[in-house]
Each structure stands twice: as structure tokens, then as C-alpha cells.
Amino acid sequence: MKKNKYKAIIYIILSAFSFAFMFAFVRMAGELPTFQKVFFRNFIAMLIAVATLIKTKTPFKIEGKTNKWVIFVRAAAGTAGMLGNFYAIDKLALSDASMLNKMSPFFTIVFSYIFLKEKLTPFQLLTVIGAFIGAMFIIKPSFANAALFPSVLGFLGGMGAGLAYACVRYLGQHGVHGKVIVAYFSGFSCLVTLPYLLFLGKEMSISQILCLIGAGCAAAGGQFTITAAYTHAPAREISVYDYSQLIFTMLLGFFLFGDIPDVWSFVGYFIIVTMGVLVFLYNNVWHAEEKGEKQPG
């Protein structure tokens, strides 16, 4: 059990690293319709997912009526969340868009509690709320001064992603392979966005194509690792670690776009990282001692 938890933490940090690069590539792709960016991002991810299924000889099958409905909800919520997220990336500051998307771990815990009946202690809830408060220090310009529409879409994007990850947790518990989940979601998103690409898509330059290919590759890495994370441990134990994406996004924003967060943003980063450390200590030290579990070392 502990080994799975540690694996999940590593997976979710790797996914945060991958998705941070996806953010950067999406921004570097320039002025293209949101549906077009989402299509190419998922088309690359779908090719990688299908190739992985073939290479590992993993059958593409989803058994059980409930699993089929849940994977559909995962794909629909994930696609809606991605559309909101990509729109926010194009219209808001990169760090603001990232923070709106980082509402997803909070919603994952809420949805896991509501639909999966996973236990949520008051201490864990407080740490998630603390992380949410930290996010508000970083996102402060968006709700007050930025355009309301992209801010709301970005926030709803985080909600959609949170529901999608809760569905991933359920599917992992009920025998659906992670590679199948990624392939299904990627294919679903491509089908939804393809009509918009055909009728409203714009011609792309070589650099824009390369950026979207990079976004797709980074997204595929993020999808595989985030799927692995939520199939190895409950959302309440690992979701806060997804906020590590803030650090990666901040570094990429500085080196690629010259972004320098202000003092309030650094306050937000500090609060969120602190909450992550507290959750880790609670789940792996304090809570384990309460149960009488022997600590390693």
C-alpha cells in the first residue's frame, strides 16, 4: 500500500512537469482557434496511446455497463476541461491560466468524496482549502481585472478536469487499463473537435505545427502519468502534489517568456507547497503512527 502511494506521488509530479511543458507549447503556438489546438494536442496523444496499446498487446476493451458510462463521462469532462483551459491559456497570463487549471485537484477530492465515497478527514480538507487560498494569491488579477469570460471558462476547465480525474480513479479501481483510458479520451476529444477544425481551422506555419506536436507529446506523457497516479492511490492522498506544476510553469514562464511573478505570487507558491508537505506528513507519518504502522528507516 505504501509503495503504491509513493509511486503515485512520483507519477503525479512527473505529470505536472509534462503538463507544464504542454502549457508552454500551447502558448508558443500563437493565434490559433482553441478547438484546433485541442485537436492536434489530442491527435498526437491518441497516436502515442494507440501505438502503446499495440506494442504492449493491451486489448482495447471496457467491460461493464457502469465502466462504459464512467469512461464516457471522463472523456466528456476532460474534453470540456481542456477547451476551457486552452482558451484561458490564450487569453490570460500563463500563470493565471495555470492556476485556474490547478483548481482540478480540489474538485477531484470533492468528486471522489461524493461519487467514490472516499474518506476525507477534516485535516485533509483544511489543507486543500489552504492550497486553494494559496491559489488565490497567484490568481488575484484574473477575477478582479481580467476578462470575466476566459476566467470563468478557465475555472470551469479546472472543474471538468477534476471530475475527469475522479473518473480515472474509479476506472482504475474497476479493472480498466490506464492505456485504454488515455486512448479513449484522446480519440473522443479528436472526434468532438474535428468538425470545428474542418470548417473553422486556420493554416499553420511550420513552427506552429512543431509547437502543437510538442504539446501533444508533453500531454501524452502527462496523461499516462496522471492516469497511473490516480490508479495507484486515492485522490485525497496525492491530489495536492499536482500543484507542483506551479513551480514548473513559473520556471518555464521565466526562461521562455520572461515572466517574473510578483511577491504575492510567491506567497501563493509558498502556501501551496506548505500544504503539500503537510498532506505528505499526515498521510505518511502522523496518520500512520495513529494506526500503529511502523515507519521506514
Q: Is 98 exposed, middle or buried (0-12, 13-18, 19+ CB in 10 A)?
A: buried
Query: Is pLDDT at 297 greater than 50 in this prediction?
Result: no
Is 6 contained in some domain?
Answer: yes
Q: Decide if pLDDT at 288 tops 60.
A: no
Total number of domains in the chain = 1
Q: Quote the pTM value.
A: 0.79
**Domain for residue 286, yes or no?**
no
Amino acid 139: pLDDT: 66
Burial of 10 (0-12, 13-18, 19+ CB in 10 A): middle
Task: Identify the pLDDT of residue 145.
Answer: 53
Residue 272 lies in a domain: no
CA-to-CA separations, 236 to 7, 121, 179, 223, in angstroms, rounded: 15, 9, 23, 19
What was the pLDDT predicted at 296? 37
The values of phi and psi at residue 102, to 5°, are -75, 5
Instruction: Report angle CA 206, 207, 208 to the nearest 5 degrees.
Output: 90
Report if residue 49 sits inside a domain.
yes
- For residue 194, name the pLDDT band (cuts at 50, 70, 90): very high
Q: Which of 15-24, 150-159, 275-284 has the highest mean pLDDT?
A: 15-24
Read off the pLDDT of residues 127-178 as tens digits, 9 standing for 90 and up. Answer: 878 878 877 776 665 455 555 678 778 888 988 988 998 998 899 888 888 8
Q: Considering only residues 294 and 251, tell me which one the structure prediction assigns the higher pLDDT.
A: 251
- Identify the band that residue 96 occupies on the pLDDT scale cut at 50, 70 and 90: confident
pLDDT greater than 80 at residue 294: no
pLDDT of residue 142: 46
Q: Residue 241 pLDDT more than 60? A: yes
Q: Give me the pLDDT at residue 247, please.
A: 81
Average pLDDT (264-269) is 78
Query: 290 lies in a domain?
Result: no
Q: Let me know if residue 289 belongs to a domain.
A: no
pLDDT confidence of residue 26? 92
Instruction: Tell me: pLDDT of 291 over 70.
Output: no
Domain that holds residue 38: 2-121+141-258
Please determine, for residue 84, whether its predicted confidence score (pLDDT) is greater than 50: yes
pLDDT value at 225 more than 80? yes
Would you say residue 136 lies in a domain?
no
Kindly state whether residue 92 falls inside one of the protein's structural domains. yes
